[in-house]
Structure 1
Amino acid sequence: MRIFVAGASGAIGRHLVPQLVAHGHEVVGTTRSASRTGAVRALGAEPAVVDALDPDSVADAVAKAAPEVVVHQLTALSGPPNFRRAKQMAAATNRLRTEGTDHLLAAARAVGVRTFVAQSNAMWMERAGARVADENGRIEPNPPADAAEAVAALRHLEDAVTGITWAEGIALRYGAFYGPGTGIETAPGSVMADLIRGRKFPVVGGGTGVWSLVHIADAASATVAAIEKGRRGVYHVADDEPEPIGVWLPELARALGAPPPRRLPAWLVRLVAGPGPVDMMTRAPGISSEKAKRELGWTLRYPSRRQGFAEGLG
């Protein structure tokens, strides 16, 4: 198939494009900067410089590519996380998940795309639901005020994509990425890894928030499976071991050769960073990916984070 990947130079795009090419697909990959077209071409894609927030730029690029499939992997989440500026850091990604999604959907419909796959995430599954949620679970309806815009943007993306009737609209709720290109890796200068080594990424409160993780290569292979076999709706994409942060973060620190993470009281982090980060670190549920494995035939290279931390961080 001819596939248009919006966000080809991002963390997952850098793994997704080569996998699509290896499956025999022809890929057009976008980047925001002309300076990165060479990197996109090196992945095996035809590069296109696109401003995802400009509807004419998006429409022109999609029309020129004439794809059968559009894949929306656009975010603006780069650089080290900063709890003090979490809302500001999320603002650009919120626009990509709302305006950017709408522009891509309009452009895709205009050229007769038959499958549209978009990146969502599992960090804001409903807090009052199951501790490990399947796709019947919903996004948190009452998030903390400082997270409300980000959660609304996720909801907009999922509703807009899965609500289309002219193509298969698929939203992928990914777990938290780790591995090459994600910042949680052994490469020098990896932002999250450096925070963990510097004991600047703490366990908050009791560390009771359940985060599902997924190696970036596994996230990419699930996306390929969704493109080739997926049907309208939501699929969860994560490994088989959702566990509380207080369990897996010390394991990750050991794998990175770092000292154990600090433990900070929730009231202190709430005072400094706001209620949203505390909620995410103490109340988030994990997800089950059984639907993706069953319906898409997806298999994980790293079904256990322990295997992934030992073999997949480099």
Structure 2
Amino acid sequence: MPVAHRQGADMRVFLAGATGVIGRALVPLLLEAGHQVIGTSGTAEGAARLDTLGATGMTLDVFDRAAVTDALMHAKPDAVIHQLTSLRGGSPADNARIRREGTRNLVDAARKAGVGRIVAQSIAWAYEPGDLPADESVPLDLNASPPRATTIGGIHALESKTAEIGHHVLLRYGTLYGPGTWYAPHALIAARLRAGDLPADDAVTSFVHVHDAARAALLALSWPSGPVNIVDYEPAPARAWVPALAASFGEPVPVPVSGRAGWERGALNGKAVALGWRPLHPSWRTGFP
């Protein structure tokens, strides 16, 4: 039988990926809200850092099925928040694997432990092609060709498996920027700007600051089941946001060009706003600086 959900701000929350980009911002928010946090890290150093914050840190290999089951059975949480990614190396295949296998292990363990509530990290650029920004009613791009098919397959597996938990919220995050992301100063995107490898074209992106993404995960513990786009108010073509980002980094501004893929359409945040989420950074225009 599922663990009864505690009302109020005293939930036991199992945060998988607690030392990732969103996890690091989320742990203090959960603690400040009065929740007990059991957070996982891939390293002993990461688990120790969680202990210093007031959480209970544990080292966990999400691909070790037995270890994940033991961790959930021991923690006995009221809710699981799934923030697992494998982005450090920039490999879509590695990230798709953790979405498939890591999610499978985490959800199966949660079900065995009687957990009836889960919040999971998805993405807002997995929608099928179209001319306008997508809301949550738009289907995923399941007919995507390689290499995009690798990412979409991982997302489809993550969302399908997560939906096996009775109460499930799928946070379809926009492109993350802010501390620790690829869009931080001196990180991957800045290097691409320096190399002239970031086109200022018509491809539309929806952004979200990492702190706003973390706030959404906290609020989602009380949201109804289903997917929710977590993006700012201003989907924008690269010809608009790339020059702004370059200026904030002091990097060369690319010459605008034309063209976009059909799926590069951005996303809408109306559902999240209706549920009570308000981004502290309502637009990349003010958030980048």
Which deviations, in whole Å up to 9, do the C-alpha atoms of 1:138-196 show, x marking residues without a partner?
1113212222122111111112222x2x520111100000011113223xx43333333
The 1-side partners of 2:157 and 2:182 are apart by 27
Structure 2 partner of 1:305 = 284
Structure 1 partner of 2:161 = 160
Name stretches of at least 5 consecutive residues in structure 2 with no aligned partner.
1-10
Structure 2 partner of 1:92 = 94
The 1-side partners of 2:254 and 2:46 are apart by 36
Structure 2 partner of 1:192 = 189
Shift of 1:25: 0.7
Normalised TM-score (structure 1): 0.83
Return the letter of the residue paired with 1:293: V
Which deviations, in whole Å up to 9, do the C-alpha atoms of 1:82-108 show, x marking residues without a partner?
xxxxxxx11221111111111111111
SS in 2 for 1:125: coil
**Contact kept in structure 1, 2:118 and 2:169, CA below 8 Å:** yes
**Contact kept in structure 2, 1:14 and 1:43, CA below 8 Å:** no
SS in 2 for 1:60: helix
Task: Give the direction of change, closer, same or farther, for the CA distance of 1:13–1:262 in structure 2 (3 Å limit).
Answer: farther
Which deviations, in whole Å up to 9, do the C-alpha atoms of 1:201-224 show, x marking residues without a partner?
4216xx121110000000000111
Q: Pick the aligned partner of 1:219 from 197, 213, 218.
A: 213
Q: Pick the aligned partner of 2:104 from 102, 105, 108.
A: 102
Q: Structure 1 residue 150 and structure 2 residue 151: aligned? A: yes
Deviates more, 1:36-45 or 1:92-101: 36-45
Task: Give the direction of change, closer, same or farther, for the CA distance of 1:136–1:41 in structure 2 (3 Å limit).
Answer: same
Shift of 1:110: 1.4
SS in 2 for 1:16: helix
The 1-side partners of 2:100 and 2:162 are apart by 11
The 2-side partners of 1:32 and 1:262 are apart by 41
The 1-side partners of 2:124 and 2:232 are apart by 12
**Contact kept in structure 1, 2:125 and 2:267, CA below 8 Å:** no
Shift of 1:263: 6.0
Normalised TM-score (structure 2): 0.90
Q: Structure 1 residue 292 and structure 2 residue 272: aligned? A: yes
Map 1:171-250 onto structure 2 (within 5 A). Answer: 171-186=170-185, 189-196=186-193, 198-203=194-199, 207-227=201-221, 229-250=222-243
Structure 2 partner of 1:113 = 115
The 2-side partners of 1:265 and 1:246 are apart by 9
Structure 1 partner of 2:76 = 66
Structure 1 partner of 2:34 = 24
The 1-side partners of 2:236 and 2:162 are apart by 29
Shift of 1:33: 1.4
Structure 2 partner of 1:48 = 58
Structure number with higher helix proportion: 1
Structure 1 partner of 2:3 = none
Name stretches of at least 5 consecutive residues in structure 1 with no aligned partner.
82-88, 267-277
Return the letter of the residue paired with 2:225: R
Structure 2 partner of 1:274 = none
SS in 2 for 1:226: helix
Which deviations, in whole Å up to 9, do the C-alpha atoms of 1:14-58 show, x marking residues without a partner?
101111111111111111112322222244321111111111011
Q: Structure 1 residue 8 and structure 2 residue 5: aligned? A: no
**Contact kept in structure 2, 1:199 and 1:259, CA below 8 Å:** no
